Structure 1
Amino acid sequence: MNTRLTQIAAAGALAASIASTPVHASAGVRVCTMPGSPSTALDQAVARAVLRTAGISATFVAHGIDDGNDDDGISARELMKSLGRNCDVIAGFPRSAQADASDSHLSFSEGYLRSGYVAVTLRDARPVAPVDGKETIAATWSSPSQLIAVQQKNARFDLENSSALTVDAVAKRRAQRAIVWYPAVVAYQRAHPQLHFDVAPVRSEYADWSLVFASGPNTDGLQTRINRALSRMSADGRLASLTRSWTLPDSVLHAAATPVRARNPLIMNAAWTNAPALPVNGTQRGTQQGGGFIKVSASGGGAAPSFNDAQVAHGKDLYAGACAKCHGVELDGITGPALSGPAFAPASNSHLTIGGIYQYMSTNMPADRPGKLSDDEYADVMAFLLYTNGYESGGAKLTAADAAASTTPLNAGPRH
């Protein structure tokens, strides 16, 4: 699952504005898979078997989803253009309790593979020396993998541009551990059978995902037939046979059965997102030598950007209408993480910058309709977040450009 897959835009935003033609299953359907997914072969095999069982003819579209031909992921707009114009159903669409798109117009099948994010180490390897006493953890840029990695204690981060490179960071001993999408581990080990990995669960509500069939509006009849076929295949063992080698180890499945309340400070959509090149503590993502990875540290500096009282007041109103239902009226977190206090803005040594937080927020929030606010409105919300976390207001107005460019670590402000 490379960058193009791990940065899929929120399903809710995608579905809210899809205008596709109603699908009549008897006429056959066009099937797409997610670009770059390590489970593409599985997704196609499952789709072929399910649709055959459902009595639906299918055409598989090799390049039905436009990935934009860049490394910044698949945007909601690109998916909207593809679903309906090129595809009737997407096999291998990722879904989780954190991204259920309950308010969307998309239709979803039952899951055919429960998967998710795991911690991976290289078996029987000599220990990798810690750097400054900290474990180096590899994660995939702008994905749930990064969300989970930031929660780890006493760690440095090796952020990779794809999930394959994230596994490779452990295999090549650039990192002691990786947090990565499990199908990427399966695909990597198939390509490198001489290597063996140990897989362990991670405790995060962002870890547990399922692969489903997704389709646009007016496709409930199609999804009903797909679900019936999935039930038949589950009962007769065919589904288990198809997915066996991709199934999470029992130890991980057992751990995933226990819900976890995430306390991640990153503002990031719970679905796979399409974030642009994002400064993390002053480092711009790029295609650097050695696999295009960067190191995260708290080396950014400089004063926080200025904002004024009027922005704080307006930002508070915007927050109440667009953010509080997930992050809490008091910013203490509900389904989304807390946006105040030490979990969000620690006293020192933050791994997040003001610019990084702003860019995540303005690209991916609110989760049910990313990007719905204007640049000025996002800047006002950022002013409110800064004020709430101890920063003093001033005379100058915070602009979107200044917020995005700030390399200042988001530590608790001087009022605290």
Structure 2
Amino acid sequence: PAPAAAAATVRVCSLPGTPTAALDTAVAREAFRLAGIAATFSTRGIDGGDDDDGISAHELVKSLDRHCDVIAGFPRSAIADASDTTLLFSQGYLRSGYVSVALRHARTAPAGKEVVAATYASPAQLIAVQQQNVRFDLENTSERTVDAVATGRAQRAIVWYPAVVAYQAAHPKQAFRIGPTSSPYAGWQLVFAFGARSAELQQRVDAALSRMKDNGRLAALTRKWTLPDNAQEARDTHAAPRFLDGAFASAGRLRAAVVAVRGTAAAGGFIKVAAGTGGDAPAFDAAQVAHGKQLYGDACAKCHGANLEGNTAPALSGPSFAPLSHSHLTIGGIFGYMSTNMPADQPGKMKDEEYADLMA
């Protein structure tokens, strides 16, 4: 197809089910008007495929080739965007992220009794596993995640902040207490995404967004969607090594190569793994590799990508995962994190042998 910049009218699509659809359309209309670009807005949106496991980078690129020239409301994160999707992006027009939500006057639940809701196969799930001494309620949409708190299914939720704004707009009498989350996965920006051959269009939209920032128009459009000040307090904390983003991030360092397996008694059930950087990598046979690939496809690919490239969860390969130098990752550290925190919807559900095959 011809580059979008050469088209008479630019087709703008949005992500399916996004709570910011009205905002994305309003910002897009103003930006394209300032840029002098005619635009149409698709009600079809991006094709998410045949399942509910999210939208892959491949599906996004395919939609840009067939149905859209621009995707409005595309969420970007410095942590989750390590893989090259061949897309181009505008500057951000809304800083948002994942917050902790509770009823405004709710009492603190007793230790071990609190239920925390999170949206399945989303960054909220990765953030939620950091919570200690809680039980989890996984919901299929961000709207249902907020509703879990409103209706009492959960005492608290880790959820995409725009979903809270949209829920309160639909339920004006509902009052929530919003708090920060402390995780590298918490902070995001909404941007416009373009195909790889639309550099001229991307530059014109970027220039229009800069004008909107300067004249106050962008602030006016995004005011009700802006994160509360108290919800941003914990976002700029120092980044821990990525394999420590989970229960271990707040529980301290692993004890000298001894890792506890979740679901076993505290007095036993320990396995020993090599935590040092020296020595050879563990030896795996072909059967372990084949079984590990099957396990990965069944339990991990929907979040981490079919080829480890990352999707709703970070990439598991490449320099952003394990730099060639100065990396803090160890085989033991990766195994320890994975065996106690993954899969994110049912941490620690696999057998030790299955986690070993995944490592293979």
Alignment counterpart, residue 357 of structure 2, candidates 379, 383, 386: 383
Q: Distance in 2 between matches of 1:141 and 1:51?
A: 34
Deviations 1:377-406 (A, max 9, x none): xxxx952627xxxxxxxxxxxxxxxxxxxx
Quick check: 1:137–1:155 contact (8 Å CA) kept in 2? Answer: yes
Quick check: 1:128–1:173 contact (8 Å CA) kept in 2? Answer: no
Deviations 1:212-246 (A, max 9, x none): 00011111111111111011000000000000000
Q: Distance in 1 between matches of 2:51 and 2:84?
A: 30
> Offset of 1:251 from its aligned partner?
1.9
Alignment counterpart, residue 113 of structure 1, candidates 94, 109, 112: 94
> Offset of 1:158 from its aligned partner?
0.6
Quick check: 1:128–1:175 contact (8 Å CA) kept in 2? Answer: no
Q: Distance in 1 between matches of 2:333 and 2:164?
A: 31
Deviations 1:9-57 (A, max 9, x none): xxxxxxxxxxx54122562210001010000000000000001011111
Change (3 A) 1:192 1:128: farther
Change (3 A) 1:213 1:338: farther
Alignment of 1:3-402 (within 5 A): 21-24=2-5, 27-68=8-49, 70-101=51-82, 103-125=84-106, 133-261=112-240, 262=242, 263-264=244-245, 298=263, 309-311=284-286, 323=317, 325=319, 326-327=321-322, 332-333=328-329, 338-341=333-336, 343-346=337-340, 351-354=347-350, 383=357, 385=359
Q: Distance in 2 between matches of 1:328 and 1:265?
A: 20
Deviations 1:316-370 (A, max 9, x none): 9x99xx7374146899549xx95133x44359xx933338x98xxxxxxxxxxxx
Amino acid at match of 2:200: G
> Offset of 1:176 from its aligned partner?
1.1
Relative to the length of structure 2, the TM-score reads 0.73
Relative to the length of structure 1, the TM-score reads 0.64
Q: Distance in 2 between matches of 1:45 and 1:338?
A: 46
Q: Distance in 2 between matches of 1:314 and 1:251?
A: 47
Quick check: 1:158–1:175 contact (8 Å CA) kept in 2? Answer: yes
Amino acid at match of 1:385: M
> Offset of 1:264 from its aligned partner?
3.1
Quick check: 1:328–1:338 contact (8 Å CA) kept in 2? Answer: no
Change (3 A) 1:155 1:59: same
Gaps of 5+ in 2: 248-261, 265-281, 293-306, 309-315
Quick check: 1:150–1:264 contact (8 Å CA) kept in 2? Answer: no
> Offset of 1:254 from its aligned partner?
3.9
> Offset of 1:137 from its aligned partner?
0.6
3-state SS in 2 of match to 1:230:
helix
Change (3 A) 1:384 1:82: closer
Q: Distance in 2 between matches of 1:324 and 1:229?
A: 34
Partner of residue 279, structure 1 = none
Partner of residue 303, structure 1 = none
Q: Distance in 2 between matches of 1:167 and 1:174?
A: 10
Q: Distance in 2 between matches of 1:59 and 1:97?
A: 30
Give the count of matched residue pairs.
299
Quick check: 2:127–2:246 contact (8 Å CA) kept in 1? Answer: no
Change (3 A) 1:327 1:382: farther
3-state SS in 1 of match to 2:92:
coil
Change (3 A) 1:174 1:327: farther
Q: Distance in 2 between matches of 1:244 and 1:106?
A: 28
Change (3 A) 1:153 1:219: same
Q: Distance in 1 between matches of 2:86 and 2:77?
A: 16
Change (3 A) 1:25 1:245: farther
3-state SS in 1 of match to 2:99:
strand
Partner of residue 395, structure 1 = none
User: Which deviates the most, 223-232 or 20-29?
Assistant: 20-29
Amino acid at match of 2:285: A
Q: Distance in 2 between matches of 1:235 and 1:206?
A: 29
Amino acid at match of 1:135: E
Q: Distance in 1 between matches of 2:176 and 2:329?
A: 35
> Offset of 1:180 from its aligned partner?
0.2
> Offset of 1:265 from its aligned partner?
5.2
Q: Distance in 2 between matches of 1:86 and 1:346?
A: 42
